[in-house]
Amino acid sequence: MRVIEHNSSKIQMQIDEIKQLRAERDMKEVKHFSFCKNPSKPIPGMTLEESVNLDALNKYLKHLEDKYAEIKQLMSKKYVPAQRKAHLEEEMIVILKRRDEAENTNKELQFRHQRLQIIFYALTSWVKSDMSTSFQDFMKQMEKTKDLYGDQGIVEELCEDPSKAKEAEILLYYIERFNELISLGEYEKAICFAARSPRRILQNIGTVEKFKAVGKIRGKPSPLLLFFEAIFSTSHAHRRPINAELTLEGIKCGLSEKRLDLVINWVTQERLTFSEEAGDVICAYGEQNTHNKAKCLALAQIIYNECNVYNKAVLCLCKQGQIHEAMQYIQQFKDFTSDDLMQLIRLCPHHELIWCLTKEWNGKPPLLPFGFVILHLCSVDMKKVAIRLLQEINEGGKDEIEHLMINNPFWCPERWQEVASICSQHGLDRVCDDIMSVLRSQAGVAEISEEDDTVNLMEHVFW
């Protein structure tokens, strides 16, 4: 103990010395960085002659100050506090509510206007007549002769909504102005025009193709990516979400630009219409970029759930290693066939998943027969998985094999005899013997040698 304590104290002294040396080094680094740069070194971006010229230095200083002010202004515009975002969302909800109220009021006023126009027309016609009948009788007579409703030109003229003509002019202006901005190369303004266009008239595949034709601009963000950022960020301002086609194109664009962070925000925060293809695109991106695979699988699962594509949602859970969550999902929906479960095993041959599917789970019977799974894996060139499962059975002993065979509702002796044959071929003699022993112990089961030609399998039929 004395020797150990001496060694421990010696090691502790060495650790203290190392800590002290590191602290002194850190202090020196802090002092070094607190001083200005070495004035003997050349200034980046300036030649030696310019670095000793006072006018050139003042000009370069002015350039740096302008650049600093520009960056500071951009930072203040691009980034805002989270409280500001919450405040803006509250304001947007209030404004949308006012808009809905104004639209309802406008519809009521339009109806009143049309009704008054029709009454005015009828009253004018009655005054121009000899007024020998009452106004009520005159109205009834006009209805019968369809003078009031039969003349489509008059009805359209009376019921014409002046706001529609104005709206058409506005839509035409937005389209023409957008095309003009694209031709002039002012893509940022064109993006703003498309995002704020009434009735989303510029938020379509045609606009996407125009930005695709522009391509990438050196030193600037992709105009197509900026377009999707703009329209997705304003999706809450509309009653209907962004359609599935635009959503798919936006996700493809975001992933092609390596902006998974944007795609995550779009999928979780914005009002979009998801499709199975969108989930497939994200899964494919995760397979190519393994460091982002977990995030992509979680995103794809959200999309598949929204689209009711349950088999792919379960596959995403299994690939994330969430086997118990996947089993709960399968038990909850109960729409999975044997073919669906076998396809799930082929795409994700996880041992824990196979055991959960072939054994009792939460007091419920197994969903698949173990023997059938082994034979199927061997038939689709997945023998390694099958052999590994059989080796795990071998470790459990005969009791586990018997429990797996007898207590399975899909009990089939012929299928288990084939499994025993596979075990024999791959050197798992103990498992083969245990399976054959269980088969022989069952009533009505007898082993027939292939060399014995004297046995007549149909003999009991003729007696």
Q: What is the pLDDT of residue 460?
A: 42
Residue 173 lies in a domain: yes
Q: Confirm whether 458 is domain-assigned.
A: no
According to the model, what pLDDT value does residue 147 have? 45
Comparing 422 with 327, which gets the higher pLDDT? 327
* 112 within a domain of the structure (yes/no): no
pTM for this predicted structure: 0.56
- Give the pLDDT score at 28: 67
The answer as to whether 253 is a domain residue is no
Number of domains in the chain: 2
Label residue 36 by pLDDT band (50, 70, 90): low
Share of the chain above pLDDT 70, in %: 75
Kindly report the CATH number assigned to the domain that includes residue 204: 1.25.40.30
Rounded to the nearest 10 degrees, how much is the dihedral formed by the CA atoms of 298, 301, 306, 308? -170
Choose one of 234, 261, 293: the last residue of a domain.
234
Least confident range from 193-207, 303-317, 412-426: namely: 412-426
Band the pLDDT of 13: cuts 50, 70, 90.
very high
Q: Quick check: 279 and 296 in contact, CB under 8 A?
A: no
Residue 199 is part of which domain span? 166-234
Domain annotation covers residue 249: no
The mean pLDDT of 274-300, rounded to a whole number, is 90
Higher pLDDT, 19 or 385: 19
Percent of the chain with pLDDT over 90: 9
> 217 lies in a domain?
yes
Whether 121 is covered by a domain: the verdict is no
